[in-house]
Amino acid sequence: MQANFVISLGNKSQVPIISFSATSPSLTSPKSPYFFRAAQSGSFQVNAIRDIVEEFGWREVVPIYIDNLFGETLIPYLTAALQEINIRVPYLSVIPESADDDLIAKELYKLMNNQTRVFIVHANMPLGSRILVKAEEIGMMSEGYVWIMTDSMTTLWRSIDSSAINALQGILGVKSYVPKSKELENFTVRWKRKFQSDNPNVNAEMNIFGLWAYDATFAVARAVENAGTANLRFNRTNISGSGATDLETLGVSQNGPRLIKELSKINFTGLSGDFHFVKGQLESSVFQIVNVNGNGERRVGFWTPQSGLVKDWKSTNTSAKSSSKPKLGPIIWPGDTNSVPKGWKIPVEGKKLQIGVPVKDGFTEFVKVTWDSNSKKAKSIGGYCIDVFDAVMRKMPYPVPYEYVPFATPEGNAAGSYNDLVDQVFYGIYDGVVGDITIVANRSLYVDYTLPYTESGVSLLVPVRDNNKKNAWVFLQPLTSDLWVTSGCFFVFIGFVVWVLEHRINEDFRGPPAHQVGTSFWFSFSTMVFAHREKVVSNLGRFVVIIWCFVVLVLTQSYTASLTSLLTVEQLQPT
């Protein structure tokens, strides 16, 4: 709220407002051209956190954040980045800044009863340290848990009381990386000497916010020098009346537009690294991943916008993201273990999934429920559908407890129809249903189905009736008796026609009468297998032979197909 108020004053008076500690992503807006953020936006770190989660294969993450504008503005960026790689956020834990220890413990117990064990903490340091201390007290800093701190907490965790540092053991943190330089080393020595002389009883270290403050001061000085010191005055607004406030009488700076123009051009290497404003804020730079151990932190890797997670940011290359090598150094996790946590655990207090199964008399191959009339419970539940569901649950990346609940009356009879069984899922009585349940339109309005694993449809089962008499005369059955007689007549007729057209001019069809009759019949029947040897010399005779060969081809192919079908295919006829 204070930052927004100061930004609005700067816009009204056209005076540049430069902040080195306001990291909330919501502050940067095209409507605030006079606001410059001399710090990394909080939204820049979400990609580094996302890549850490992806690196270790965790599938679910729960953010824990403070209930104010600082906490709320980062969460949309964080959840969007996680959803890009299909990381599920099952719950958002919001804790008020004024929460007491009992409220914090209540919220943590709620998280403890869920299966997710990966938590991202985004809060100011006072509230964040209380959350972590309470988590250690109730056993959430043991083996199997993962805690990741955002930039603001990772930068300031050394400032908390030493008694609370034990609660941070094994935590991962993300913070902006400051490259080492001679200028930084000299400045740190001078600042520490000066600070300790003024505050001999206080032990403090220079952090990134102090470096941003120094670089921002240097940038303002250079911008003022470049813009010039002429016209450093305000145009006063004329507001009459005794009710006017001091804010309403603010003037407008004549030098403001030149200052923001010069600030936008600033580009130098400061104590914090490259210092250059892009659309009113510093560009995204390198983040370092640290692991809290003992009273200090150990760097385990870096994150860069170009290469993602790397062990050494100086040796990054374009193929770093696709490398199969570990992208982070060894990490000591909560519980003082080197084993990477799975990110989930079935809580003891968690309930089992209630899976309804139908009870029926027929088609027991799909689902078979054996009922015990004495105990009024199912002795056993089996069948094809049950086996498929069990196999799928075994393939899950984490164990899911479940139990089958027969949809039956105390006597072991069906408690309703399949529609009634599906309604139990809609009403929340069952978490799911397994069985031979057909996918129909009206049921799809209330529940979601898995992909079908059996073919649906209507089939008719009939006995085989073979009407074919497999005897020596079966070759006559493909053609009817009329067609046999007609075919024979045509063979004789075609032989006669060819003889009439050829015997006067073709020596093959001449000779004694008996020879001419035999040649004519032989010619017509040999065309059936295209084995005729006699030449046809007349054009009219050739035309007749062409037509006849085509007819013979169709007739023989049809006969062959019919005979094959009779001999190989059984005729199925319903009774």
% of the chain surpassing 70 pLDDT: 87
Coil, strand or helix: which one is 182? helix
What's the rounded Cα separation, in Å, for the pair 37 and 423? 56
Q: What is the pLDDT of residue 208?
A: 85
Give the number of other CB atoms < 10 A from CB of residue 292: 24
The radius of gyration computed from the CA coordinates of the chain, to the nearest angstrom, equals 44
Per-residue model confidence as pLDDT tens digits over 486-541: 888 888 888 788 888 887 777 777 778 887 788 777 777 777 776 667 777 788 87
Task: State the pLDDT confidence band at 263, using cuts at 50, 70 and 90.
Answer: confident
Q: What is the pLDDT of residue 511?
A: 77
Question: Which strand (E) or helix (H) includes residue 172?
Answer: strand 172-176
Q: Decide if pLDDT at 243 tops 60.
A: no
**Cα 150–152–155 angle (5° rounding)?**
100
Q: Pull the structure tokens for residue 402.
A: 């479940």
Question: Which strand (E) or helix (H) includes residue 224?
Answer: helix 208-227
Q: What is the pLDDT of residue 319?
A: 47
Task: State the pLDDT confidence band at 255, using cuts at 50, 70 and 90.
Answer: confident
Q: Pull the structure tokens for residue 23.
A: 């990291």
The residues facing 507 across adjacent strands are none
Picking from 168-172, 288-292, 341-345, 496-500, which range would have the lowest pLDDT averaged per residue? 496-500
Put simply, whether the predicted model's pTM sits higher than 0.85 gets the answer: no
Per-residue model confidence as pLDDT tens digits over 104-131: 999 999 998 888 999 999 999 899 999 9
Cβ-contact 88, 98 below 8 angstroms = no
Q: What is the pLDDT of residue 30?
A: 67
Comparison of pLDDT for 296 and 472, the residue scoring more: 296
Q: Please give the backbone phi and psi of residue 439, each rounded to the nearest 5 degrees, phi first.
A: -80, 110
% of the chain surpassing 90 pLDDT: 27
What string of DSSP letters covers 510-545?
A: -SSHHHHHHHHHHHHHHTTTT-------SHHHHHHH
Q: What is the pLDDT of residue 477?
A: 79
Q: What is the pLDDT of residue 350?
A: 58
What's the rounded Cα separation, in Å, for the pair 516 and 62? 104
Q: What does the mean pLDDT of the chain come to?
A: 83
Q: Please give the backbone phi and psi of residue 97, each rounded to the nearest 5 degrees, phi first.
A: -65, -30
Per-residue model confidence as pLDDT tens digits over 414-466: 899 999 999 999 998 999 999 988 888 889 888 999 888 887 666 777 666 65
> For residue 128, what are the CA distances in angstroms to 78, 90, 146?
18, 21, 15
Question: Which strand (E) or helix (H) includes residue 140?
Answer: none
The arrangement of strands across the sheet holding 17-19 comes to 17-19, 35-37, 281-282, 273-278, 267-270
Closest residue by Cα to residue 20 from 304, 290, 275 = 275
CATH of 356-444, one of 3.40.190.10, 3.10.150.10, 3.40.50.300, 2.60.120.20: 3.40.190.10
Q: Decide if pLDDT at 252 tops 90.
A: no
Picking from 366-370, 378-382, 525-529, which range would have the lowest pLDDT averaged per residue? 525-529
Intrachain domains 2-39+207-231+256-282 and 42-177+286-315 with the same fold = yes
What's the rounded Cα separation, in Å, for the pair 331 and 171? 9
Q: Decide if pLDDT at 349 tops 60.
A: no
> For residue 174, what are the CA distances in angstroms to 125, 301, 395?
14, 10, 34
**CA torsion sign, 412 to 416 to 419 to 424?**
negative
Q: Decide if pLDDT at 241 tops 70.
A: no
- According to DSSP, the β-strands at 273-278 and 281-282 are antiparallel
Please tell us whether the domain made up of 2-39+207-231+256-282 is placed in CATH 3.40.50.2300. yes
Comparison of pLDDT for 26 and 311, the residue scoring more: 311
Q: What is the pLDDT of residue 348?
A: 56
Annotated domain spans of the chain: 2-39+207-231+256-282, 42-177+286-315, 356-444, 474-568
Q: What is the pLDDT of residue 320?
A: 46
Task: State the pLDDT confidence band at 58, using cuts at 50, 70 and 90.
Answer: very high
Cβ-contact 335, 144 below 8 angstroms = yes
What string of DSSP letters covers 349-399?
A: TPPPEEEEEE--SS-TTT-EEEEETTTTEEEEEESHHHHHHHHHHHTSSS-
Q: What is the pLDDT of residue 508?
A: 74
Picking from 52-56, 407-411, 464-468, 471-475, which range would have the lowest pLDDT averaged per residue? 464-468
Per-residue model confidence as pLDDT tens digits over 64-110: 999 988 888 899 999 999 999 989 999 999 999 999 999 999 999 99
Closest residue by Cα to residue 494 from 444, 445, 550, 455 = 550
What's the rounded Cα separation, in Å, for the pair 71 and 389? 42
What's the rounded Cα separation, in Å, for the pair 60 and 88? 5
Per-residue model confidence as pLDDT tens digits over 216-238: 888 888 888 888 776 666 666 66
Coil, strand or helix: which one is 304? strand
Beta-sheet strands, E only, within 183-280:
234-235, 252-253, 267-270, 273-278
Most confident range, picked from 204-208, 210-214, 325-329, 469-473: 210-214
Q: What is the pLDDT of residue 465?
A: 61
Q: Pull the structure tokens for residue 424.
A: 């139990």
Query: Under the phi-then-psi rule, with left for phi > 0, alpha for psi from -120 to 50, and beta for the rest, what region is 518?
Result: alpha
Q: Decide if pLDDT at 569 tops 70.
A: no
Query: Under the phi-then-psi rule, with left for phi > 0, alpha for psi from -120 to 50, and beta for the rest, what region is 12?
Result: alpha
Task: State the pLDDT confidence band at 196, using cuts at 50, 70 and 90.
Answer: confident
What's the rounded Cα separation, in Å, for the pair 464 and 276? 86
The residues facing 146 across adjacent strands are 118
Q: Please give the backbone phi and psi of residue 270, each rounded to the nearest 5 degrees, phi first.
A: -100, -165
What's the rounded Cα separation, in Å, for the pair 558 and 487? 13
Q: What is the pLDDT of residue 301?
A: 92
Task: Please enumerate in sequence order all residues whose Cβ is within 8 A of that of 449, keeping only pairs 6 or more positions apart, or say none.
Answer: 439, 443
Task: State the pLDDT confidence band at 288, using cuts at 50, 70 and 90.
Answer: very high
| CATH code given to domain 42-177+286-315 | 3.40.50.2300
Cβ-contact 327, 55 below 8 angstroms = yes
Task: State the pLDDT confidence band at 248, using cuts at 50, 70 and 90.
Answer: low
What's the rounded Cα separation, in Å, for the pair 122 and 78? 11
Give the number of other CB atoms < 10 A from CB of residue 90: 10
Range 395-412 average pLDDT: 84
Q: Please give the backbone phi and psi of residue 207, each rounded to the nearest 5 degrees, phi first.
A: -115, -175
> For residue 419, what are the CA distances in angstroms to 225, 446, 447?
80, 10, 11
Query: Under the phi-then-psi rule, with left for phi > 0, alpha for psi from -120 to 50, and beta for the rest, what region is 379?
Result: alpha
Q: Which one-letter DSSP state was computed for residue 435?
A: S
Q: Which one-letter DSSP state was computed for residue 308?
A: E
